[in-house]
Amino acid sequence: MSFSEQELIDDHQAWLIVLRGLIVVVTVPGLSDKAKARLIRRLFSEYIQHGWSAITVDSKDGVTYAETALEDIGLEDCPAVDPPERPKQSQNVRELYAGTDYGPLHGWRGDEEVIAAVRTLITDALDGTAEDVPEEAYPLPEGVGAAVTMGYDEQGAPHPLVWVRTDIPSGLRADLWGYCAALSVSFDRVDVEPDEDGIYYVGMERSPVTGPGVALLAALTLQRMGRRPDDCAFPLLAPPAEEEAATPLAA
């Protein structure tokens, strides 16, 4: 592939063009390394998923596609079209990572051992807080399995705060802990707003991991800790009504 930086038309921040077998990626000048990496990942994700030969991403993260052979013409000359509707491709996490470097660090372990390992990851590696939902917080708002937010110390450094309910099966609880650990370092990867206190509410209805994102990071984390994860994509729920919110979590 070829990469360069140059000014782009309209509000485009990045282009991907397939030109006679060569993948050409262009970003606007002045982007941070993190922003540039995010845009390039987005371009390749869309290219792998749809296979279109011209893709753009704008400053609001909007994606457009163009259908063209792209011999010697510019992207601005290509007719923009809506992306095709494609069914999501589900991967079986057990098969996807079998025999790879994502295997367990210390062998396969029971649910409680994995939960303890993930909690240690949050408290030690991420310098955060990992707690069971306190008894006085029950009953929780309907469907809520966990809550995640970010706290800040006196120096302004962020520290994740995670609470997971205990009155559910250990396998579900372990997968929730894995998802919350992944979410606590990936707030920028979700499109649901937290409540007014900055709390994200994680539901308990699981679905398969379908691609890169918080759920895939959660599945990888759990497997590294020693658990074969079940479906590891959990929904982020809309903030509950004020009277339903658990006071200990909002404090």
Half-sphere exposure of 189 (CA within 13 A, CB side): 17
**For range 237-250, the mean pLDDT:** 60
Most confident of 24-38, 63-77, 171-185, 191-205: 171-185
Give the separation between CA 141 and CA 240, rounded to whole angstroms. Answer: 7
Query: Is residue 21 predicted with pLDDT exceeding 90?
Result: no
What per-residue confidence (pLDDT) applies to 210? 84
Higher-pLDDT residue of 117 and 51 is 117
What per-residue confidence (pLDDT) applies to 115? 96
Mean pLDDT of the chain: 81
Higher-pLDDT residue of 101 and 17 is 17
**For range 15-39, the mean pLDDT:** 87
| Region for 129 from its dihedrals, namely left if φ exceeds 0, alpha if ψ lies in -120 to 50, beta otherwise | beta
What per-residue confidence (pLDDT) applies to 84? 43
Give the separation between CA 46 and CA 25, rounded to whole angstroms. Answer: 13
What per-residue confidence (pLDDT) applies to 48? 73
Query: Is residue 172 predicted with pLDDT exceeding 90?
Result: yes
Query: Is residue 89 predicted with pLDDT exceeding 60?
Result: no
What per-residue confidence (pLDDT) applies to 100? 63
Give the list of residues 6+ apart from residue 241 with CB closer than 8 angstroms, or none: 141
Query: Is residue 49 predicted with pLDDT exceeding 80?
Result: no
What per-residue confidence (pLDDT) applies to 242? 53
pLDDT band at 182 (very low <50, low <70, confident <90, very high): very high
| Least confident stretch, 69-73, 100-104, 136-140, 159-163 | 69-73
pLDDT band at 98 (very low <50, low <70, confident <90, very high): low
* Model pTM above 0.75: no
Give the separation between CA 50 and CA 65, rounded to whole angstroms. Answer: 9
Query: Is residue 240 predicted with pLDDT exceeding 70?
Result: yes
Higher-pLDDT residue of 162 and 68 is 162
What per-residue confidence (pLDDT) applies to 163? 96
Query: Is residue 119 predicted with pLDDT exceeding 70?
Result: yes
Query: Is residue 171 predicted with pLDDT exceeding 90?
Result: yes
Amino acid at 169: P
**For range 148-157, the mean pLDDT:** 83
Sheet holding 129-132, edge to edge: 129-132, 158-164, 144-152, 200-203, 236-237
